[in-house]
Amino acid sequence: MTSVPLDRLLLWLAAGLYLVGFAAGCLNLARRQPTPGSRLVLNSLLAAGLILQVTGLYIRGLAVGGCPLGNKFEIVQFVAWSGMVLYFVVGPAFRISLLGLFTAGYAGCLAFLSLLIPEWDAVHGVKLFGNNPWIELHASLAVFSYGAFGLLSLTSLMHLLQNWSLKHKRLDGLFWFLPSIVQLDQINFRLLLTGVGLLSISLVVGASWWMRDTGSVDTLKLTLTVGVWLAYLVALVLRWRRGLLSTRFAWTCILLFATALLSLGSVNSSRHHDVILTPIR
């Protein structure tokens, strides 16, 4: 009987707590009269899951000598973690009661999916970034920006649900707890600005190093990353100039994140280091 490595065990427990929080939140909404302290229970489950997840990632980071972003498994886990971190920053600031429920489902599904596919967790060598702190900063900021875009897709979904409820005059159940259209629009713009800002800094940091060593540039990775950045930048400019508003803006953010997720396989800093493509059993 093969024992589960400690890092994966902690990540399994974290994903479980996220999904338990999501299930508990859904059951609470189904009662139509949320019980007192339900939000505290949800946030406690998510905080515990976040602690377990960051501990598991920290253990993996110690093993590789850097930020654990060496394969698709670690990248997806990092995106789920960054989305949860941003929730604890954005949620209390805007007092969005349902955002925790949406984030729990989002982070739990991403983390659980990554754990279910062993091929994603390919073994890679130590010193993932070749002892280069600038490349490590570039990679971590880039993937963290995906967490902001993920949270943006959740608030965009909430915007679409609220818009639908207003059009169909459905103000009960789930729709009763949704923030106003105006508030969601403001949150979406700020999250988009945050994500584009983080990804812009990441690209500047990466470019400052790549200019010294152009041979280290992976063309496919760079093209896809810049493509994601340009797409979100165009959306930001259009939103700022009021050329992309309301449901069109929300749909755009959701579709852009779905596209960004498909590019995650290329955001792999271990491409130019010793990587053994043998899945962990």
Give pLDDT, residue 274.
Answer: 39
Give the C-alpha separation, 124 to 73, whole Å.
12
Cβ count within 10 A of residue 84? 28
Whether the pLDDT of residue 2 is over 70: the answer is no
Q: What separation, in Å, do the N-terminal and C-terminal C-alpha atoms of the chain show?
A: 12
Mean pLDDT of the chain: 84
Q: Specify the 3-state DSSP secondary structure of 160.
A: helix
Does the pLDDT value for residue 69 go beyond 70? yes
Q: Residue 34 has what pLDDT?
A: 63
Residue 59, CB-side half-sphere exposure with 13 Å CA sphere? 12
Distance in angstroms (rounded) separating the CA atoms of residues 75 and 87 = 18
pLDDT value of residue 188: 93
Q: Which residues pair with 124 in a beta bridge?
A: 275
The ranges assigned to domains in the chain are 6-273
Q: What tokens appear for 89 in the block?
A: 């920053």
pLDDT at 173: 65
Tell me: pLDDT of 123 over 90: no
Token reading at 98: 């349902």
Question: Which of 226, 157, 145 shows the shortest CA–CA distance to 192?
Answer: 145
Other CB atoms within 10 A of residue 256 CB? 21
What pLDDT shows up at residue 124? 65
Q: How far is CA 191 from the centre of its chain?
A: 12
Does pLDDT of 145 surpass 80?
A: yes
Query: Over the stretch 11-53, which tens digit does the pLDDT of each residue have?
Result: 999 999 999 999 998 888 777 666 667 888 999 999 999 999 9
pLDDT at 6 over 80: yes
Residue 84 has pLDDT above 90, yes or no: yes
pLDDT at 130: 61
Model pLDDT, residue 278: 35
Which band of pLDDT confidence, cut at 50, 70 and 90, is reported for residue 4? confident
pLDDT at 98 over 60: yes
pLDDT attached to residue 175: 73
CA 116-118-123 angle, 5° bins: 145
Q: What is the pLDDT of residues 169-191, one digit of tens each?
A: 777 667 777 888 888 898 999 99
Rg (CA), the chain: 19
Q: pLDDT, tens digit, for every residue of 201-253?
A: 999 988 887 777 666 666 777 788 899 999 999 999 999 998 998 999 999 99
Q: What is the mean pLDDT of residues 132-138?
A: 79
Residue-wise pLDDT for 147-164, tens only, equals 999 999 999 999 999 999
